[in-house]
Every structure is written in structure tokens, then in C-alpha cells.
Amino acid sequence: MTVQSKPDAEVVQLCSELIRIDTSNYGPEGSAGERLAAEYVAEKLAEVGIESELFEPAPTRTNLVAHWEPEGCDPSLPPLLIHGHTDVVPAQAADWQVDPFAGEIKDGCVWGRGAVDMKDFDAMVLSVVRDRQRTGRAPRRPIRLIFTADEEAGSGVGAHWLVENRPDLIADCPEAIGEVGGFSLTVRDDLRLYLVQVAEKGMAWLTLIADGTAGHGSMRNPDNAVSALAGAVARIGAHEWPHRIHPAQQSFLDAVEDALGIQINADSVEESLARLGTVARMVGATMSNTANPTMLNAGYKVNVIPGRATAGLDGRFIPGYEQEFFDTIKELLGDKVRYETVTRQDAGETEFSGALVEAMQTCLSAEDPHAKAVPYLMSGGTDGKAWQKLGVRCFGFAPLQLPAELDFVAMFHGVDERVPTDSLQFGARVLDRFLDQA
């Protein structure tokens, strides 16, 4: 008897259950939930006969790797890496309409922290893989499944640890798909652009340090660390970075210009794209390097001038413009302020071309006749920064057909994070088709 395939049957339930595992990542101490989430994924895979390995660089900081090579796939082809992270940023329950870790389903959405970043894609992968195993439908080629910890804090005990300590698990995968891409942007009634992430900005988290002469608050002090730091922070915050348009960014802008019949001026891109909603804010952030002061620390008493003041800076640089970023920061700091690097990760990029990209377009069009896949540059970062060290071509492709009115960009790390159930089911169906062609 033939068993009917239903790749989208479980995806809503799986997403809800994953959200109920609180995997909040507060930094180095991590979250006990990361191990619970890895064990949950391992159990769901084991139920359909797929074995997993768990790697734990630090207590409860658990990563899962599974080799899915069922009978019927072509073992002569190199594996495709499909990756997702299980950790999430923290949430303040008092700010939410619902419990952020209840996985509540209401108003046609799954609500909760991680609903779009990125337990939605984790659920899609599990739903599709489990269904294909049950119905005996092998993917075209072997699949390497990796679910990581610590992505939200730089991937130090997640993807980067795997690359540095177990590169054999990744190095045979020439291509990968993961988060923050494949979602739709409705530009006309008969056209939805699906943004495939092919590049992401590099990251530089810096501590700015001003050393001065400590003294009494009532005395004149020309060597005041707080004053020096405040001046540097103000200069960086007010700096207007020159536009540096990456090829992926230009391709996206060209597609929008064609769709809307307008010309987009680099100096006013957010105003030009206003009709597209808050995605304009995301596009604006990728038109140049950025540097945002985020933390300040100085002093211990109002009448004591401290000998040191520090600030935190979140810097992001476009592929190819890393040196310009650091040269500019050094100039803006001046002579009395220096920086130390907390985290520095390279920008990433690949070409929007090849059989994998063609498969994305074909599978999207099969589920949405108004779909057009286009490349884009992302302002944030993903585990792709780690995989690319081993030469893996990384794409953001977690397909979601979204309602035009949904403020999707605001869902990332936002209050009342949620994903439509219809979007989850759409994504599972696209991913299922994709595994036949990828």
C-alpha cells in the first residue's frame, strides 16, 4: 500500500513544541534548553530511523549532527548541508501579548520566541525529513543535518567550534541552506519577490577604551576619560558612512525598480522603498558599513572622575570593505581612545547562480506562480560565517510565503514574534520539492 506523503502535516506542531523549550542565550553561560532542544531533535529523527551525534563543547551547549543518506539517494553526489540553530534571544514576558515560551497558536500564527529566528525552519526540516523517511522518499543527494547552539551569541561553542574541532563533518558539503532568506515580499498583486540571502555583512563587536587621570570631581581635569570617550562615541554615532553597494544589493534593487517602475536613489533608498514596509529599513542598513554605540560604562561616584571609561560598539561591514571600516573607526576615535576586539567575523558572499539557485526558483514557482527569487545582502550574521571558512557556499533559504501586511522584519528578536501557520506549511512543501532537485 502506498503511503501518501504530507510534508507539511507536522510543521505547525513541531514549531510550537520547539518554542516551548526555552533556549534563551544570555551569553557565555548559555542555556540548559540548548541541550533539551538537541535531545528533542534527536528523538524526532530517531523515531524515523535517523541516528544523530551530539557534541557538547561546554555543559548544555549542545550541537547535533546527523548524516541522512537513505537508500535511493545518489551517494556519488556531495552532501547538501541543511543547518539551523536552536538557541534564541531572551524575551521579557511582560512585554508580550502571550507567554513567549508557550508556543501558542492563535490568529492563524504560531507565537513565541524563535518563531522566525529560527525554530520555524527547524520545524520545516524536521517535518519534511520525517515525512520522507516514513514514505520512503529519498532526497536526490545525501543530506547533512546540523542543529547548533550559540548562534545568537556569535556561534563560539556552536558552528565555529564544529568548524575548528570537527571540520570533517562539514568540509565535504560544497553548499548549504539556512536561515534569513527565502521569505516573500509582495510588490504587486501578481509578483512576490523571494529574498535569497547570498551575502552577509561582517561583524566587529568592539570595546572602546579611554584612559585618563582620576581625580576629584570638583577640580579641572583636561585628561578626563569620560569626556574623551563621549566625544568619540558622539563622532561615531553621527558619522555618515559612504554608500558601498554590493552586487547582491544591486541585483535586489534592480528587481524592485523593475517591479515598481521606479528609479531608486542610493541617498534615499528607505524613502524610495517605503511602500514595501519595514523591509526598507533592512535594505537601508546594507547600503553602507554601520557602527552603533550600544553600551557605556564609567565611574562609581558622582564626585570622582574615573581613570577609565568604556563603551560597546556593534560594527558591521560590507564584503570587501572591512579595512575601510577599521580605518574609519580608528580615525573617529582620535588620539585618546583605543579599541579592543570582542568578536570579529568575516563577511560572507557567494554568487546567485548554479543548479541550487535554479532549484530554489523552480520549487518556489511550483507553490506560488507569482514567485521570483532574487538575491540580497543581509545586515546581520548567521552560522554561515563559520561554514564558509571550509569553502561552503552558503545561502539563506528558509521559504515562507508571507501576508503582505505582516511586518516580518520586526519579528526578528521582536516582541510578539510569530509566524503564520500557512507560511510554515508553504515552506515545508517548498523544501520537500527542493530535496528532489537540490
Structure confidence by residue, pLDDT tens digits, 22-33: 999 998 876 789
Give the model's pLDDT for residue 14.
Answer: 98
Eight-class DSSP state of 73: B
% of the chain exceeding 90 in pLDDT = 83
pLDDT band at 2 (very low <50, low <70, confident <90, very high): low
All structural domains of the chain with their residue ranges: 11-179+378-437, 205-244+288-345
> For residue 257, what pLDDT is reported?
85
21: exposed, middle or buried (C-beta count within 10 Å: 0-12, 13-18, 19+)? buried
Over residues 145-163, the mean pLDDT reads 95
CATH no. of 11-179+378-437: 3.40.630.10
What one-letter code names the amino acid at 126? L
**DSSP conformational letter for 144:** E
Mean pLDDT to the nearest integer, 303-332: 97
Q: How far is CA 250 from CA 227, 286, 385, 436, in A?
A: 41, 11, 22, 31
At 126 the three-state DSSP class reads: helix
Residue 393 scores a pLDDT above 70: yes
| Percent of all residues in the chain with a pLDDT value above 70, rounded to a whole number | 98
> pLDDT per residue over 331-340, tens digit each?
999 999 999 9
Per-residue pLDDT at 406: 86
pLDDT value, residue 358: 97
Residue 262: band (very low, low, confident or very high) from pLDDT cuts 50, 70, 90: confident
pLDDT at 1: 47
Strand order in the sheet with 337-345: 290-298, 308-317, 202-211, 337-345
Q: Would you say 295 and 312 are in contact if contact means Cβ atoms under 8 Å apart?
A: yes
pTM, rounded to two decimals: 0.92
Cα–Cα dist 422/187, whole Å: 20
Confidence of residue 43 (pLDDT cuts 50, 70, 90): very high
For residue 281, the one-letter residue type is R
Q: Is 142 or 286 the better-scoring residue by pLDDT?
A: 142
Q: Reply yes or no on whether the pLDDT at 78 is more than 70.
A: yes
CATH of domain 205-244+288-345: 3.30.70.360
What span, in angstroms and rounded, lies between the C-alpha atoms of 81 and 146? 7
47-55: average pLDDT: 98
pLDDT digits (tens, 9 = 90+) for 404-433: 888 888 888 899 999 999 999 999 999 999
pLDDT in tens, 243-257: 998 999 899 888 888
Residue labelled with grid coordinates 542565550: 25
Indicate if 205-244+288-345 has the same CATH topology as 11-179+378-437: no
